[in-house]
Structure 1
């Protein structure tokens, strides 16, 4: 049974309430908000009070039925049941509702020409193998080879030597390594910029793929007529002691998914040309590539920690 289809007829919204009903509902909101008055953490008190007001406002605005609330609880329960060390269904839910992207916008305010941030995604792991500059992060993952290069600088153009760059991506079949095996490591790695802030590595030309849609989030997307497809992308996380941590992607120009990205992660500044190279084209490092390959340049600008 599809628990995401409302089993009761929709109630009309915007319906005028009697003064008595309005008083009952308003009084409950104030009672719940007041229950946090003894909270010794001012920020927690602020967040819980605001959350309560917004949640109750939503319930009252759409005149939520008890069956709909029950379906929501069942949905969240199933999301918890399917979450494990390799899959985070709540991150997927946050992503497809745009909550992840909005939180990123709030916490990464624009600063001069610093590179824009975007969603983290559910498939980062913190034990990606180290690769030397010019190395290959594919580690056997299938896909068209892609040469990625660029620089990491401050907003004043000063190169940042020793910046740590974490990179990860799906293979040509649209799957991350951990979706095959939680212990597998491929199409991901970390490297460090050289003394001039430069970096370079071989990866895989990104291709579109669906987010995991065999669980409650996937069924929700289907119920509302949305595609689970993500725009093709390559993940970056860049850290340096003297700069604000950046989590971002780059997206190939001309991707047919593009602005229809299921998690709203695409930003114009992050769309880059992945220049296709025909078979036999010499590579930057002399590597022999059997077939076509691509190349992209991504200049990364980090905001100061105080920004």
Structure 2
């Protein structure tokens, strides 16, 4: 198509990825007004509206979605090819965008990333925290972090951390005024701190003992969408909270939280770094996957 340049398409792709002129402009190193002008020129050349924009939102039109779906992978392949040339000089560089839920980002991903950057200073890593399940490919991420059970079968997954176990906790002061539950069903009669997923669904707490599996829909005066906040609320005496063992082990050890129903708390497979199967992996992603696998080897018993 006449007069449509790679720079035009790069500007459009940044807008499509971020759904924000401000964030896209930050990536491109220009002003939002300059980016808006570039988009208008591209739309005029194509004689199609690509983006619907209001003062509050940016959304792709059908034409914009189709262009994003076709051009986005092609530009990623170009970036990957250029990054791969650095390996000929013995240098790993490039950018990595990784999506992860907050608790996994804090407990597992960030410690590995900081060690990785110490070895590969030429790589830039962006971690985007999002507790909702997202399509990492369509949203422009190189990789994601999730529990193994939630990862699509067409993705390649690498263990990022050990198995996870849940923990049901409350403050000692809370149990001064409420009985300690000895079965999961007794939680229905106690004030609990609800967890709401990014999808809007309330989490029904899951339990398992001796092959018996239970799911309990709890109730209480407080609902939160983040397990770190649930731990804070439990510390403040707001109710019984659901979290992961690693999040609360120090609080339990120093007596600020009390665990209950420990023999009913199941283990999960742990979190995984996952990425799409691609013929040519970006050099930075390949180096990070290798680093994670080596890190797993160091943590595993001989």
Query: TM-score, normalised to structure 2's length?
Result: 0.25
Q: Which has the higher helix share?
A: 2
